[in-house]
A and B are shown apart, each in its own frame.
Chain A
């Protein structure tokens, strides 16, 4: 991606990364909108953050452990009840091998 003004190509690439098959008109509209929003939030670069550690969330929590005990899982029919397509105990998808890799 270029580092200056956001281009249609940039937005197309982001859409591909985000797994959104957007049409040209939507990509055009988003180019303008993202330009404006990113331009506005870029304000954060003005803050003096020297010596400040990034904070991922506000809690003083790190890893939370529990006993390694097997507990019941959801029954299979519940797990599959919302699947658009399933086959026995499996989620069904079109062929995966040969799909393009990003």
Chain B
């Protein structure tokens, strides 16, 4: 069955058990069936996808992903179609160039089925901040898929692609992967080029893969990782073959359990139980559980919700109604009026909120109190991790404190929504690598996936993926389908 994973789909095409056009048609059929309920896509590129697939079948395209249909988060610039960021601001924006990641996927032979919905400019944890549509969780359509890469996660969980690409600024790949029963990887800051990723918070943003399996994520990372002269923050470190040793268990594995995570409030009892069971599973696999301390965890959310809005307020200053994006139709008295009206009309409430917080925190008299202080906390959080990783290989926790919540449940209170990110933000602040893998389901009529997060040191992806694969190989959670 070619849809069971990206790797099996790729192998089926390679071995000519199915053509890329046949597989792409199957995927487009699933989209036709399920998209009306799920609303994962901002655009579906049926014609272009079939052309790309045909080129593979005719031998004009090849590569590590030859012929497999994948979906792209709609904040990745593509020279084909629109790049909207799910914002009225960019509703009609046509990028003049491709993101480096898009070019690499294209060169590897991938077929792009379309671009997926997100929280506007990737700001949110439920995809409800999209200006266009509310994406539903395929496991229970009354619930959110998580966010901000909720469209990518929902599309993959519903079988509307074989893999997907997202971006993660404070958990935006790992949390939706957790809520949709998928593998989601946030690579080390600098591992993947951010060129052509519409900037939200440039010191935290990183592009990464969603897969049904750890091997799928490893294959995608093989394709997208590497230095790019167009992104000065991408690191010229060699890219190992992440699939090479993937199935070799890590010997003398030490798994860190942070005592501060045990104290985190608001963890759902079923999530807690599933994570406890995962710890036992790792022990059965020969791992040693090690107590570690991350003493500045309690400041993580606060530091994140200063740093990210500060960088966002600066990055989003480029939307001026002049060079591209929405321009007001209202009569204006001068250029400032034009810019200010255009921005007020086209940015949604959460984006405006974050621009306001960032502008305030960077303004005269508050800069030291908020921004500089948060940067000091960042140094402390990084140091916490550096010290913890001298005692363990990875740190284990829930990815999200709760399973998927109901649409509308947290929209009235921005602070409640921010708390979804308690286990994920410190990974971005410290620039390290993190992965979420399925580790259980809730009980009930519509079981909901639960995700396990593993954090590893900077540039430890090869080992991190192997450690994740050890658990996956011993469990069946990833085989369930929504």
Residues from chain B with a CB closer than 8 A to the CB of A58 are: 189, 203, 378, 382, 429-432, 458
Residues from chain A with a CB closer than 8 A to the CB of B326 are: 84
Q: How far is the CA of A91 from the CA of B325 in the complex (A)?
A: 13
A74 touches B96 (CB 8 A): yes
A79 touches B356 (CB 8 A): no
A47 touches B335 (CB 8 A): no
Q: Known pairs A21-B340, A91-B323. 20 more at Cβ < 8 A?
A: A10-B360, A11-B356, A15-B356, A20-B355, A37-B415, A44-B374, A47-B299, A54-B378, A54-B379, A57-B203, A59-B190, A59-B431, A81-B94, A82-B94, A84-B325, A93-B338, A94-B332, A94-B338, A96-B335, A99-B335
B306 touches A53 (CB 8 A): no
- Contact A59-B380, Cβ < 8 Å, known A11-B356, A19-B343, A94-B338: no
Residues from chain A with a CB closer than 8 A to the CB of B233 are: 57, 59, 61
B372 touches A54 (CB 8 A): yes
Q: How far is the CA of A67 from the CA of B140 in the complex (A)?
A: 54
B313 touches A41 (CB 8 A): no
B302 touches A43 (CB 8 A): yes
Residues from chain A with a CB closer than 8 A to the CB of B302 are: 40-44
- Residue from A17, A61, A85 in contact with B359 in the complex, judged by beta carbons closer than 8 Å: A17
**Within 8 Å of chain A (Cβ to Cβ): is B261?**
no
Q: How far is the CA of A81 from the CA of B325 in the complex (A)?
A: 11
**Within 8 Å of chain B (Cβ to Cβ): is A70?**
no
A21 touches B341 (CB 8 A): yes
- Interchain nearest-CB distance for A42 vs B (Å): 8
- Residue from A34, A55, A83, A96 in contact with B378 in the complex, judged by beta carbons closer than 8 Å: A55
- Contact A52-B379, Cβ < 8 Å, known A57-B233, A59-B190, A61-B233: yes
Residue of B nearest to A61 (CB): B233
Residue of A nearest to B378 (CB): A55
The tally of residues in B whose CB lies under 8 Å from a CB in A reads 73
**Within 8 Å of chain B (Cβ to Cβ): is A98?**
yes
Q: How far is the CA of A41 from the CA of B317 in the complex (A)?
A: 23
Interface-central residue, B306, B356, B363, B429, by most chain A CB under 10 Å: B356
Interface residues of chain A: helix, strand, loop or mixed (majority): loop
Beta-carbon contacts under 8 Å, A19-45 to B: 19-23, 26, 30, 33-34, 36-38, 40-45
B370 touches A41 (CB 8 A): yes
A18 touches B313 (CB 8 A): yes
- Residue from B96, B229, B380, B414 in contact with A79 in the complex, judged by beta carbons closer than 8 Å: B96
Residues from chain B with a CB closer than 8 A to the CB of A14 are: 356, 359-360, 363
Chain A 87-102 per-residue mask, 1 if CB under 8 angstroms from chain B, else 0: 0000101111011100
**Within 8 Å of chain A (Cβ to Cβ): is B337?**
yes
Residues from chain A with a CB closer than 8 A to the CB of B356 are: 11, 14-15, 18, 20, 30, 34
- Top-8 shortest CB links A-B: A58-B431, A54-B375, A82-B324, A84-B327, A78-B96, A21-B340, A99-B334, A57-B203
B235 touches A59 (CB 8 A): yes
**Within 8 Å of chain A (Cβ to Cβ): is B132?**
no
- Contact A56-B343, Cβ < 8 Å, known A44-B374, A45-B373: no
Residues from chain A with a CB closer than 8 A to the CB of B45 are: none
Q: How far is the CA of A101 from the CA of B458 in the complex (A)?
A: 45
Beta-carbon contacts under 8 Å, B291-335 to A: 296, 298-299, 301-303, 305-306, 313, 317, 320-327, 332, 334-335
